[in-house]
Structure 1
Amino acid sequence: MIPISQQAPLTFADNTLFYHDLPLLRGTAASPIAFIGRGDADVAMYQGNFEISDNMQAKLPLTLSNHAINENEIILTLGFQGEAYLELTCFLDASERLVIKPKLLKAGWNRFWIRLTADQHEHVYGCGEQLSHLDLRGRHFPLWTSEPGVGRNKHTLTTFQADQTHSGGDYYTTNYPAPTFISTRMYYCHVASYDYADFDFRNDDFHELQFWGLPLSLTFDTASTFSELITKLTGLVGRTTGLPDWTNNGLILGVQGGTKRVSEIADQLKENDVALSGIWAQDWEGIRMTSFGKRLYWDWKADDKLYPNLTTSIKHWQDQGIEFLGYINPYIANDTQLFADVKDLGYFAKNKDGEIYLVDFGEFLCGVVDFTNPDAFTWYKELIKKRLISTGMKGWMADFGEYLPTDVVLYDHSDPMVMHNKWPVLWAQCNYEAVKESGLQDEIMYFMRAGGTGSQKYAPVLWAGDQSVNWSLDDGLAATIPAALSAGLTGNSISHSDIGGYTSLYGNIRSRELFMRWAEMAAFTPVMRTHEGNRPDQNFQVYDDYDASVHLAYATQTFKALTPYRKTVVAEAVNQGLPAQRPLFMHYPDDDGTYDIQYEYLFGRDLLVAPVYRPGKQAWSTYLPKDNWVHLWTGEHFTGGDTVEVQAPLGQMPVFYRADSAFASLFEKIGAKH
């Protein structure tokens, strides 16, 4: 702690706590600083989708009853009807960040609310990966890792149909929630808690943060620019380790069906000048068919029928300059040999009867590897080394992490209501340590969809999850843009998505045009990777269409040509924590028009990208902040400060570069070659 006598940044006056002259906590009779309550959670899980309610028994508003300014801290005492119930200890840490630690003075309370002062015109961003809304103001956001749900919009037929099987989503459902946000009042708030939470930004005068438990602490910091603010935030929560150089060589081709089919499709696309950096065969361990579509056989060893002598095949592809990526998740199907081999070792989480807890993943059941058991954690880490890394894989999808049931019994007897949101982080840490201990952090890229606080370091690359194969704003191509932006503002700098989407249900079928628009967007993201989807035979596949493969080739060649610039962007992510995909306001804070834009982004500092996310469009309107912009494809100059319309045929979605960029000559060459 920094002595209070030197704490000009932290003051208390007029019942208000100030940090760098920013009022954060203000107690009045009409608006208490905090509340405490008592409730019983009711949680039901349906294949990773959750229905959550709270049986509230009591809730007390706590007003300021006393404050004390000591040598190193300010202590606010909060009470109800003359009795003290809560203390907030406020101090500056060694980095001059404000830390607030709550302490209950009376036992028996398990709900906590705290109100932060707000401004009517304030914007708020973050809370992990949010796919429907970039600006969080005017809404509340439950923070609970889960399947995002199919559709994610209660006004659509798709979501209505999905809700009949408890698989529909809502605007806030996400694989990756986080109790962290940034404000246009130029501060961030990060809460050290994995409890179920609900951040409410609907009130003009305050933000109300709710937790089903007492947080360890709330941390705040301020900055003069958004870039500095994100750098400070990632200095606290962690930063990505970056990308291997091989990812710059082109597309990671998502394809499956065995060695012969994979090789034939890769060769076919290469003949059409598609630049390939990798082959991602998620079915390396075999498949099972369900009513949902093609699923995988979760035994985590190479399927000898589909991929005989996989290590030899991987070496063959590597000799062609193509790396091989696989798939794994933290569950083991109960009908596999691996499950039988380890079921008596105590490595699975248990139910209340002491039996292995089996989770329904949709027509098959799985055991949960109990990462609170150090032996189980180490065993699974070694499994990754032996069955993935030692075969020569240079990456994999580290899937799931959201499914920890709330009635499970864990090895360390921790509360599963708390561990649920932490589980994706433990899963990420398992992968991180396996790669680090193998000495291959510069060569291996694994990517995750689930996350929480700590994933910034342990999950170096995100993907946006299972989008529907359609044009919906909440669950299609467009949703991946606010997903990347919000995740980036929470410290997860590198993100990408399944080119073409994944989920094909209720008549949603991937079209040729959707795939092509998704591919051209992906050229201006950190990683390019395709997915065949859950029902590959029913959906458009690029290898079945020559013209589409030529379009994909252009996109991959553009991606490859951007390597010098992209390396600079990734270096900023590693060293400064800056997101690769950035909201326009990050670099144009004086432009009021930038704060509500969520379907455009800056790729690094110098490229503005406006993906076409509606079908049948040949022209597209794009907002340009005031600057000197050059249209990548035509060379036309714009001064910005307004919306412009440009031609946007397939292969030429609106992309602009800053005329005074150090990479202007590179961008000019890329545009001229198209």
Structure 2
Amino acid sequence: MPFTVIMHPEGFDLLHGDASILSHRNDAPAISIGTGRPDLEMVRGNFRIDDVVETRLALDCFAQVDGCIRLWNEKRPDIVATLALEERALQSILTFRCTDPAFNRLWIDMQCAMSEAFWGGGEQMSYVRLNGRRFPFWTSEPGVGRDKSTALTQTMDADGLAGGDYWTTNYPQPTWVSSARYAVHLETAAYSVLDLTDAGRVGVECWSANVDLELFDAPSLPALVTKMSDRFGRQPALPDWAISGAIIGLKDGADTFDRFEKIAASGAAITGLWCEDWIGIRQTSFGKRLFWDWKWNAARYPDLPAQIAALAERGIRFLGYVNPYLAVDGSLYQEARAASFLALRQDSDAPYAVDFGEFDAGVVDFSNPAAAAWFAERIIGQEMLDFGLSGWMADFGEYLPTDVRLFDGSDPMEAHNRWPVLWAKVNADAIASRGKTHDATFFMRAGFSGVQAHCPLLWAGDQCVDFTRHDGINTVITAALSSGLLGNAYHHSDLGGYTSLHGVVRTAELMHRWIDLAAFAPVMRSHEGNRPADNLQLDSSAEILTHFARMSQVHARLAPYVRALSDEAVATGLPLQRPLFLHYDDAAYYDIQDQYLYGADMIVAPVVEEGASSRNVTLPGGDWVHLWSGDVYAKGTYDIAAPHGQPPVFTRKDSGHAALFSAITQEFRA
């Protein structure tokens, strides 16, 4: 048994192997319970969350009774908690229950070695290694800037709490992976916090006193990732069309197809056209927003059915956009309201209206199985799949207000974190209903524990169109590596970034660097951003378009390798983009988050610093071949030249895919 409980006269230890990861004594209790109430404010998916703790009781008495541990406070023996360890096939489960339902707070101080490293936490944008920081788990907008020291973040904070911080993310998950080859998962949707600010301590805070701690153990880090993928769910293989060429994002109405043909004429390898404005637009001060009534807008795209068919004859798929909310001025909102499929206000039977910035929308209540089925069939099935869409951005999911009234009577404070998982399931169910699980796909930014079972592809959300440390291009790599460790095999980003506010606009350098990065992700997809007219696009200059065409061809040539990695992901749950330490368990690699293994046989080190013409690349043991020159490098750290179109990329000399890599070198040699 990898996890055991050892009893002592004055307490107990929870051991992983020979190491104690939880030590509880009467004179040094590691577990406390209490009562509290949230102090919370939400503005358009951004949250300020504080806790008003009313009671906190250290559980300083214990007894072993009927195979479980009973805990209580000496001054309050009437409040009893129980703790029991159960072995299951995949994991051990430490079950914590409190006899008094009024108690809704739990604090646990776990232990770790001083040198132990931790990763995970969902899709983290700023840090892959979690040590030294505190990470709340609450799905939300990640914010603009995400760095409290910058003027942009401060400006956005003043405007609707929208600045964010290093820990804010669309996809949190209370699961952390240890360098000691074990992992811990809190099986709860309640707001929780992982506190690693003190070396040697793993602090856990949860806004529920009834929690399961799931404990995973494996002989290696890859085996640990596989075990968690078995637990949370595994994505299907990506369709061939999604990985064998670029997906061009345009939202220019009837003029879109003329622009698309210009890009196609560049020689770019293209397998998809993504028009998120297929349902129409509305203009706001933030920029062009979509009209949230999820069906074809014939006024904006008058010939769309014929154009989709013509694209299909060329092997090019058409993609759109959807989210789980319905604009109050749209026809689908009226259908949902008539069927009582919308979440309600707490104080009346009126539908709850969410302010999305200059327009309101209703919340389709996915706690109602009939409402979820209606959305899957009526909207995604009929209006999208039957219309001819092969994929879409399934946006949002993190906006569920905490003061709605839901069909199933659940507490919206806990339903909030579950909402992205329910939203992902609606999309997956719709695709399955048409028998297209391996042909159509969708991509999401929001998530929580269990989204892996339903969402086939993540994207990194709305990065700023810049090189900033906490909200720029580099956060895409961090997001892929952190989420991949928890069983999310496929990840990509908006080529060029998305958010352009307060004078922050794309530069030619940023476009070139993002093109290089996107070519070495499973899916290469461009986005025009929130303010297309203010920002450079793929077709803004001949230089950018030529570069994009070349790198899209590189991406296409890699498709056989990506297919092999996708097959491996289906079999093992291993992500395509991996931190070096996953295969090379060396403490020297624990903090590296600006380069990655692409499968086990390729290392990609994109340039993510403004003004850089080269960068340091760390190569682990073995012989590594520079993709653009064919030169061979041994283990070590090297300063590698990195002109546009030649991001530092290395392949294993003894790879089973060496012939494919060599052919790419010959075709695209520097």
TM over 0.5: yes
Tell me whether 1:467 sits opposite 2:463 in the alignment: yes
- Matched position secondary structure for 1:542: coil
> What corresponds to 2:492 in structure 1?
496
> What corresponds to 1:153 in structure 2?
147
Instruction: Show the 5 A alignment for 1:446-457.
Output: 446-457=442-453
> What corresponds to 2:390 in structure 1?
394
Q: In the alignment, is the contact (CA less than 8 A) between 1:192 and 1:215 conserved in 2?
A: no
In 2, the alpha carbon distance for the partners of 1:88 and 1:11 equals: 10
> What corresponds to 1:3 in structure 2?
none
> What corresponds to 2:70 in structure 1?
77
In 1, the alpha carbon distance for the partners of 2:280 and 2:145 equals: 29
Tell me whether 1:58 sits opposite 2:55 in the alignment: yes
Q: In the alignment, is the contact (CA less than 8 A) between 1:629 and 1:639 conserved in 2?
A: yes
Deviation at 1:96, TM superposition (A): 5.6
In 1, the alpha carbon distance for the partners of 2:27 and 2:610 equals: 51
Deviations 1:14-41 (A, max 9, x none): 4212243342321135642311011111
> What corresponds to 1:132 in structure 2?
126
CA gap 1:342/1:593 in 2 versus in 1, 3 angstroms: same
Q: 101, 114, 123: which is aligned to 2:117?
A: 123
- Matched position secondary structure for 1:78: strand
Q: Single out whichever of 375-384 and 130-139 deviates more from structure 2.
A: 375-384
Q: 625, 628, 632: which is aligned to 2:627?
A: 632
Q: In the alignment, is the contact (CA less than 8 A) between 1:600 and 1:611 conserved in 2?
A: yes
Tell me whether 1:671 sits opposite 2:668 in the alignment: no
In 1, the alpha carbon distance for the partners of 2:651 and 2:50 equals: 48
Tell me whether 1:429 sits opposite 2:422 in the alignment: no
Deviations 1:307-339 (A, max 9, x none): 124222211111111100000000000111222
Deviation at 1:378, TM superposition (A): 1.2
> What corresponds to 2:601 in structure 1?
606
Q: In the alignment, is the contact (CA less than 8 A) between 2:244 and 2:557 conserved in 1?
A: no
> What corresponds to 1:4 in structure 2?
none
Q: In the alignment, is the contact (CA less than 8 A) between 2:152 and 2:502 conserved in 1?
A: yes
Q: In the alignment, is the contact (CA less than 8 A) between 1:89 and 1:101 conserved in 2?
A: yes
In 2, the alpha carbon distance for the partners of 1:320 and 1:584 equals: 39
Q: In the alignment, is the contact (CA less than 8 A) between 1:201 and 1:208 conserved in 2?
A: yes
- Matched position secondary structure for 1:388: helix
Tell me whether 1:214 sits opposite 2:209 in the alignment: yes
Instruction: Show the 5 A alignment for 1:247-258.
Output: 247-258=242-253
Deviations 1:399-422 (A, max 9, x none): 001111001111111100000000
Deviations 1:179-220 (A, max 9, x none): 111111110111211001111112223211111113441111
**Partner amino acid for 2:466?**
N
In 1, the alpha carbon distance for the partners of 2:276 and 2:83 equals: 49
Q: In the alignment, is the contact (CA less than 8 A) between 2:617 and 2:639 conserved in 1?
A: yes
Tell me whether 1:89 sits opposite 2:84 in the alignment: yes
CA gap 1:21/1:368 in 2 versus in 1, 3 angstroms: same
Q: In the alignment, is the contact (CA less than 8 A) between 2:25 and 2:60 conserved in 1?
A: yes
> What corresponds to 1:552 in structure 2?
548
Q: 127, 135, 142: which is aligned to 2:136?
A: 142
Instruction: Show the 5 A alignment for 1:501-520.
Output: 501-520=497-516
Deviation at 1:627, TM superposition (A): 2.3
- Matched position secondary structure for 2:517: helix
**Partner amino acid for 1:20?**
G
Deviations 1:485-537 (A, max 9, x none): 10101211111000000000011001111111111111111100000000000
In 1, the alpha carbon distance for the partners of 2:18 and 2:569 equals: 30
Q: In the alignment, is the contact (CA less than 8 A) between 1:19 and 1:98 conserved in 2?
A: no
In 2, the alpha carbon distance for the partners of 1:11 and 1:466 equals: 44
In 2, the alpha carbon distance for the partners of 1:59 and 1:402 equals: 30
Instruction: Show the 5 A alignment for 1:133-282.
Output: 133-165=127-159, 166-259=161-254, 261-282=255-276
Deviation at 1:241, TM superposition (A): 1.2
- Matched position secondary structure for 2:526: coil
Q: In the alignment, is the contact (CA less than 8 A) between 1:20 and 1:222 conserved in 2?
A: no
Tell me whether 1:16 sits opposite 2:13 in the alignment: yes
Instruction: Show the 5 A alignment for 1:326-405.
Output: 326-352=320-346, 353-382=348-377, 383-405=379-401
Deviations 1:270-289 (A, max 9, x none): 21111101000000000000
Q: In the alignment, is the contact (CA less than 8 A) between 2:513 and 2:607 conserved in 1?
A: yes
Deviations 1:437-491 (A, max 9, x none): 1100111110000011111011110000000001112111001111111010121
> What corresponds to 2:36 in structure 1?
39
In 2, the alpha carbon distance for the partners of 1:9 and 1:549 equals: 56
Deviation at 1:11, TM superposition (A): 4.3
Deviation at 1:117, TM superposition (A): 1.8
- Matched position secondary structure for 2:497: coil
In 2, the alpha carbon distance for the partners of 1:516 and 1:205 equals: 43
> What corresponds to 1:322 in structure 2?
316
Q: In the alignment, is the contact (CA less than 8 A) between 2:33 and 2:209 conserved in 1?
A: no
In 2, the alpha carbon distance for the partners of 1:592 and 1:75 equals: 38
Name the Cα RMSD after superposition.
1.4
CA gap 1:267/1:309 in 2 versus in 1, 3 angstroms: closer
Deviation at 1:634, TM superposition (A): 1.3
Q: In the alignment, is the contact (CA less than 8 A) between 2:279 and 2:292 conserved in 1?
A: yes
Deviations 1:26-68 (A, max 9, x none): 1135642311011111211101000111111111112351235
In 2, the alpha carbon distance for the partners of 1:499 and 1:107 equals: 48
Aligned residue pair count: 660
Instruction: Show the 5 A alignment for 1:506-585.
Output: 506-585=502-581
Q: 95, 98, 102: which is aligned to 1:104?
A: 98
Deviation at 1:221, TM superposition (A): 1.5
- Matched position secondary structure for 1:514: helix
Instruction: Show the 5 A alignment for 1:287-306.
Output: 287-306=281-300
Q: In the alignment, is the contact (CA less than 8 A) between 1:618 and 1:649 conserved in 2?
A: yes
- Matched position secondary structure for 1:564: helix
In 1, the alpha carbon distance for the partners of 2:3 and 2:460 equals: 38
Runs of 4+ in structure 1 off by over 4 angstroms are: none
Deviations 1:140-177 (A, max 9, x none): 10100000000001111110111110211100000001
Q: In the alignment, is the contact (CA less than 8 A) between 2:137 and 2:173 conserved in 1?
A: yes
Q: In the alignment, is the contact (CA less than 8 A) between 1:621 and 1:643 conserved in 2?
A: yes
In 2, the alpha carbon distance for the partners of 1:320 and 1:495 equals: 26
In 2, the alpha carbon distance for the partners of 1:78 and 1:670 equals: 63
In 2, the alpha carbon distance for the partners of 1:8 and 1:223 equals: 9
**Partner amino acid for 1:375?**
A
Q: In the alignment, is the contact (CA less than 8 A) between 1:64 and 1:76 conserved in 2?
A: no
CA gap 1:282/1:85 in 2 versus in 1, 3 angstroms: same
Deviations 1:595-646 (A, max 9, x none): 0101111010011111101122222111222321111111221111x32001
Deviation at 1:266, TM superposition (A): 1.9
TM-score (norm 2): 0.96
Deviation at 1:354, TM superposition (A): 2.0
**Partner amino acid for 2:166?**
Y
Q: 584, 588, 591: which is aligned to 2:584?
A: 588
Q: In the alignment, is the contact (CA less than 8 A) between 1:372 and 1:411 conserved in 2?
A: yes
- Matched position secondary structure for 1:371: coil
In 1, the alpha carbon distance for the partners of 2:382 and 2:214 equals: 40
In 2, the alpha carbon distance for the partners of 1:321 and 1:264 equals: 18
In 1, the alpha carbon distance for the partners of 2:652 and 2:251 equals: 40
**Partner amino acid for 2:83?**
L
TM-score (norm 1): 0.96
